[in-house]
Chain A
Amino acid sequence: MTGRVWLFGDDIDTDMLAPGLYMRGGMDELIKHCLEAADPEFAKNVRPGDVVVGGRNFGIGSSREQAAQALVMLGVSAVLAVSFAGIFYRNALNLGLMALVCPEAKSIRQGQALTVEPENSRAIDPTTNASFACEPLPPHLIAMVRAGGLLAHLEQRLKASRT
């Protein structure tokens, strides 16, 4: 998957990703305000396939899944960060959002193109071929994300147990 990079700093929290003020109004309203406290242009201009890159502690805060779901609905294809908050990380994978720990994320630039290759534990700049190493994700979790997340995976499991 290749997309444009939206670059964010450290400690991007779940109140920025899914502001509590808009939580009642449903996802369609919520996603318009996704990350507006950090970058007002993001929700307006993000395109399907784009990649979100963060610093340390991405997704700190509440357990609200809407934080990851908003990125999925906006078409974000992957999130790379120096480190993730635990609940957000689990939520992202469960919702089918590729989340990779990338210690070198700080050398990625806003707006550059990026090809994310979870199977190879890296992301690549297709213009310069510069490579950014990511921590490997266990194959069964990559498969779960590719399948669309935990629900799809459970669906298969329940189907198998019924037959």
Chain B
Amino acid sequence: MNRPQTLTQKIVARAAGRAHVDVGEVVTCNIDLAMMHDSGGPRRLQPMLKRLGASIWDPSKVVVVSDHYVPAVDAESASILKLTREFVRDHKIERFHDMQGICHVVLPENGHLRPGMFVVGGDSHSPTGGAFGCFMFGVGATEMCGAVVTGEIWLKTPGTILLNWRGKLGPMVSAKDMMLALCKRLGMGGAEYQVVQYAGDAISGLPMFERMTLCNMAAELGAQVGLIAPDAVTEYFLAERGVTNIDTARWQGDAGAEYLRVEEFDASDLAPQVAAPHSPANSGPAAEQRGVAIHQAYIGACTGAKINDLRMAASVLRGKRVAPNVRLLVAPATARATAEAAADGTLAALAEAGAILMPSGCGACAGYGAGVLAEDEVCIASTARNFKGRMGASSSKVYLGSPYTVAAAAVAGMIVDPREVAS
């Protein structure tokens, strides 16, 4: 008889070829999928593979996404993108998404994820995949090289912190607000490289794109993985993207499984949140930052520019105008999000309000692409991080908020509670 296991233990055990693993046990896991992008992927792996004289263990289990340096802004970024294309050609990697959007959103959009998978990603926001019941975590380029040469990776089986959310989010309050509140409550890195699993009726009621925001920002909590057990919402979303035959019942934690701790939250009384510079944990109700003047509002990133994020922003902006002397930049997370937003009138609402539309990609989020900040400029962004200097000049300041809050700030020219602008 096996002892009860958490969802984490079940996925790790399966990947390690075992019936059971204990928390803290070091195991070697077989990798179901490896995802890398143009910045940390081919350009870094190429010389390492050459040095080793090694090839990729199974190109059909590798996905490559060009999203960081897209579109090229100079000869250097162009050559990185070119190298990426040559790499996938030479290594016969068929799952290649060139300038189709940000990797963490492109992956599920194209049906690459299914519950129970063990996935490594060459990016720190790889926990996003946990929204689909995958154990997915970020690794650096050298470790990725080891992973794709051997098809396996060592893991110290993490424990699971269960975050139980009951109730229902109020109007203009979103998953991003839940995460900013959690960053404050647990602290940056408070999850200490364990798994955070989100559960409760507030989570069951969230669409997949919102669940992705929760798992995405598990990285800010310092978790190795963010996880949500699959349900009918997951099945429906994946079926629409061609992923069928999902064993939802199998990928649930057992009754009586042991958690590191269980924390309770009520979604109903949560107000829109804003994180002040320079940490996502530096957060509190948006109303407390009311009046902070901004130069730029940025709707972008894997965290905050998925189709439903764009819809949130549009719902605030419809029939309004961006304040004078403020620029609102919108970089949809994927080309598909752009197409969907074009089809349902979201893009028109954004454009009519005065938003500047940008290409799909990481853009200004980490200072790689267009839309970076000058010295002393202030920005409010729907991204995940506001570390010092991340979006441009080291004296620039970035506040974080939900797409509602960023759009409301663009209209008001300063930070406000978005419910104020809407009413």
Q: Which residues of B contact A86 (CB under 8 A)?
A: 193, 222, 224
Stretch at the interface among B138-146, B159-167, B336-344: B138-146
When A19-B367, A21-B392 are in contact, do A91 and B189 touch as well, CB less than 8 Å? no
When A37-B394, A65-B40, A90-B140 are in contact, do A154 and B389 touch as well, CB less than 8 Å? no
* Pair A65/B140 contact, Cβ less than 8 Å: yes
B-contact bits for A73-99, CB 8 A (1 contact / 0 none): 000000000010111011100110000
* Pair B388/A37 contact, Cβ less than 8 Å: yes
Q: Which residues of B contact A95 (CB under 8 A)?
A: 140, 142
Q: Which residues of B contact A151 (CB under 8 A)?
A: 48, 51-52, 142, 145-146
Question: Among B121, B142, B388, which residue has its beta carbon within 8 angstroms of that of A65?
Answer: B142
* Pair B188/A60 contact, Cβ less than 8 Å: yes
Interface presence of B123 (CB below 8 A): yes
Across chains A and B, the number of contacting residue pairs, with CB separation under 8 Å, is 122
Interface presence of A117 (CB below 8 A): no
Q: Which residues of A contact B392 (CB under 8 A)?
A: 21
B392 to A, closest residue via Cβ: A21
Question: Among A21, A63, A149, which residue has its beta carbon within 8 angstroms of that of B139?
Answer: A63
How many chain A residues touch B (CB < 8 A): the figure is 37
B53 to A, closest residue via Cβ: A158
* Pair A150/B366 contact, Cβ less than 8 Å: no
B26 to A, closest residue via Cβ: A138
Q: Which residues of B contact A87 (CB under 8 A)?
A: 124, 137-140
* Pair A63/B140 contact, Cβ less than 8 Å: yes
**By CB atoms of chain B within 10 A, which of A21, A36, A149, A150 has the most?**
A21
Question: Among B77, B124, B150, B189, which residue has its beta carbon within 8 angstroms of that of A11?
Answer: B189
Interface presence of A20 (CB below 8 A): yes
* Pair A90/B388 contact, Cβ less than 8 Å: no
* Pair B122/A63 contact, Cβ less than 8 Å: yes
Q: Which residues of B contact A25 (CB under 8 A)?
A: 76
B157 → A minimal CB distance (Å): 13
B158 → A minimal CB distance (Å): 9
* Pair B188/A150 contact, Cβ less than 8 Å: no
Q: Which residues of B contact A15 (CB under 8 A)?
A: 366, 385, 387-390
Interface presence of B279 (CB below 8 A): yes
A-contact bits for B30-73, CB 8 A (1 contact / 0 none): 00000000011000100010011110000000000000010000
* Pair A61/B44 contact, Cβ less than 8 Å: no
When A21-B367, A21-B389, A151-B48 are in contact, do A57 and B143 touch as well, CB less than 8 Å? no
Cα-based distance from A25 to B139 in the complex (angstroms): 22
* Pair B389/A149 contact, Cβ less than 8 Å: no
A62 → B minimal CB distance (Å): 5
Cα-based distance from A154 to B137 in the complex (angstroms): 21
Interface presence of B372 (CB below 8 A): yes
**By CB atoms of chain B within 10 A, which of A20, A24, A25, A151 has the most?**
A20
> Which residues in window 5-41 of A have CB below 8 A to B?
11, 13-16, 19-21, 23-25, 36-37
A94 to B, closest residue via Cβ: B142
B298 → A minimal CB distance (Å): 14
A62 to B, closest residue via Cβ: B124
* Pair A63/B193 contact, Cβ less than 8 Å: no
B279 → A minimal CB distance (Å): 7
Interface presence of A64 (CB below 8 A): yes
Interface presence of A4 (CB below 8 A): no
B247 → A minimal CB distance (Å): 29
Q: Which residues of A contact B93 (CB under 8 A)?
A: none
Cα-based distance from A23 to B53 in the complex (angstroms): 27
Q: Which residues of A contact B142 (CB under 8 A)?
A: 65, 91, 94-95, 149-151
12 A-B pairs (CB sep. < 8 Å): A23-B367, A24-B69, A24-B74, A57-B188, A61-B124, A65-B40, A83-B192, A94-B146, A151-B142, A154-B54, A155-B52, A158-B52
Besides A87-B140, A151-B52, 18 new A-B residue pairs in contact (Cβ under 8 A), listed by A number: A16-B387, A20-B366, A20-B367, A20-B368, A21-B367, A24-B368, A25-B76, A36-B394, A61-B387, A62-B124, A63-B122, A63-B140, A91-B139, A94-B140, A149-B142, A150-B145, A154-B149, A158-B54
